[in-house]
């Protein structure tokens, strides 16, 4: 079976969607070899290596419109020319028309169910084409039962067509004990001795304001900690520096910006606690990355996060500032509770793996071409 895999979304920065697209391509290339045809932007091909697969660099002038035009009007012809039996579109939308069966991955439905948390361009694009993509796909993959239920309610899709396949943290995420490496990373990013960590793109659904307010409330309970906000400024979060100043914690907040995946395991391992109070999530990989590195998690109780964490995190409503602060304070003060949740986190991440995800994906491929 020759499989075309649309990896055109891969670019300069990694967010949850890009992590899953690139990691699955790596795993599939191990299983399918040259029968996997990875379609990738030529500007990104040097950053990603799928050595056992057939890579097809696509020259695009840049910008979202050119990518959309390529996906809908040019990619179907290329897939036909390659002679593929199946097309996997791992980024929400499939081409308007293609000659072979498609498998579609839908990471979340936030653009439709919580449009205020998305860019207007995403709202319009997904509203116009997600329903059609889901209906025409031979099989659909989602990372959580929450997203499956949403798709069924939104588009009337049969349960049998939607496959829940959880993602997993990359194997690079594990507790770092190397003191030299930890010191190097601490020095590189100016990390303090004790800190609460957040890792995400800075955008509305990540509730950056809630993180800052919760940390300010936590500081009133526990001394000695600082807040480290890892991530790039994406859009829509306003003036973070101003909010930090208004909260009276300007001296206690560090914003190192985007941290590459090579350094993230050490950053997670250095943190005292991890906070992730998203307003909505279709899955939430950062909470699993933190658990895999032995750092206890306080996260939102919205979207798929309770399902993803499966009892291994303290889940709090994202608007409950005092509840989040109290949870952080409990981890700081209660060594027994801290150890318990660290062990729960290791157990939960041990239940998930990209090997399992890949095997389940290959089974979906087989169903799609039957």
Residue 368 has pLDDT above 80, yes or no: yes
What pLDDT does residue 233 have?
A: 81
CA distance 175 to 112: 37
Average pLDDT, the chain: 94
Residue 247 has pLDDT above 80, yes or no: no
- pLDDT (mean) for 3-29: 88
- pLDDT (mean) for 100-119: 96
What pLDDT does residue 363 have?
A: 98
CA distance 154 to 139: 16
Residue 197 has pLDDT above 80, yes or no: yes
Instruction: Name every residue whose Cβ is closer than 8 Å to that of residue 265 and which is 6 or more positions away in sequence.
Output: 172, 173, 174, 175, 176, 289, 293
What pLDDT does residue 13 have?
A: 62
- pLDDT (mean) for 33-53: 86
List of domains in the chain: 3-167+353-369 (3.40.50.2000), 179-350 (3.40.50.2000)
**What is the tens place of the pLDDT at every residue in 65-109?**
888 999 999 999 999 999 999 999 999 999 989 999 999 999 999
Residue 26 CA, distance from chain mean position:
16
- pLDDT (mean) for 35-48: 86
Q: In what order do the strands lie in the sheet with 273-276?
A: 253-257, 226-230, 195-199, 273-276, 297-300, 314-316
Q: Contact, 199 vs 229, CB < 8 A?
A: no
Q: Of 10-24, 164-178, 280-294, which gets the smallest average pLDDT?
A: 10-24
* CA within 13 Å, CB half, 14: 17
- pLDDT (mean) for 187-191: 97
What pLDDT does residue 14 have?
A: 65
CA distance 247 to 241: 10
Q: How many CB atoms lie within 10 A of CB 335?
A: 9
* Residue in this structure with the two tokens 């020759």, named with its chain if needed: 2
What pLDDT does residue 12 have?
A: 63
**What is the tens place of the pLDDT at every residue in 127-162?**
999 999 999 999 999 999 999 999 999 999 999 999
Helix, strand, coil shares of the chain, percent, nearest 5, are: 50, 15, 35
**What is the tens place of the pLDDT at every residue in 311-320?**
999 999 999 9
- For residue 245, name the pLDDT band (cuts at 50, 70, 90): confident
What pLDDT does residue 319 have?
A: 96
């Amino acid at each position: 079976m020759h499989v075309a895999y649309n990896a055109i979304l891969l670019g300069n920065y990694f967010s949850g969607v890009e992590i899953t697209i690139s990691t699955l391509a790596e795993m599939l290339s191990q299983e399918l070899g040259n029968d996997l045809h990875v379609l990738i932007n030529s500007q990104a091909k040097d950053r990603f290596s799928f050595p056992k697969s057939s890579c097809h660099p696509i020259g695009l002038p840049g910008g979202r419109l050119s990518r959309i035009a390529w996906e809908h009007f040019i990619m179907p012809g290329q897939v036909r020319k390659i002679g593929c039996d199946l097309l996997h579109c791992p980024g929400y939308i499939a081409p308007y028309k293609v000659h072979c069966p498609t498998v579609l991955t839908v990471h979340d439905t936030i653009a439709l169910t919580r449009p205020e948390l998305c860019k207007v361009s995403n709202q319009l694009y997904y509203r116009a084409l997600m329903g059609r993509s889901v209906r025409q796909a031979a099989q659909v993959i989602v990372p959580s039962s929450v997203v499956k239920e949403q798709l069924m309610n939104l588009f009337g899709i049969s349960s049998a067509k939607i496959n829940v396949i959880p993602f997993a943290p990359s194997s690079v995420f594990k507790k770092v004990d190397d003191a030299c490496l930890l010191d190097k990373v601490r020095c590189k990013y100016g990390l303090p001795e004790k800190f609460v960590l957040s890792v995400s793109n800075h955008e509305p659904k990540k509730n950056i304001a809630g993180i800052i307010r919760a940390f300010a409330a936590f500081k009133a309970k526990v001394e000695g900690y600082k807040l480290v906000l890892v991530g790039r400024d994406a859009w829509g979060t306003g003036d973070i520096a101003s909010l930090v100043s208004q909260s009276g914690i300007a001296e206690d907040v560090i914003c190192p910006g985007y941290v590459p995946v090579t350094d993230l395991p050490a950053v997670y391992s250095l943190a005292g606690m991890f906070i992730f109070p998203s307003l909505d999530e279709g899955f939430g990989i950062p909470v699993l990355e933190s658990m895999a590195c032995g750092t206890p998690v306080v996260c939102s109780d919205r979207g798929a996060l309770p399902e993803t964490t499966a009892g291994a995190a303290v889940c709090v409503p994202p608007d409950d500032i005092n509840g989040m602060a109290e949870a952080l304070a409990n981890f700081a003060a209660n060594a027994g509770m801290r150890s318990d949740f660290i062990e729960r986190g290791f157990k939960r991440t041990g239940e998930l793996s990209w090997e399992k995800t890949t095997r389940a994906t290959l089974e979906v491929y087989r169903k799609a071409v039957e």
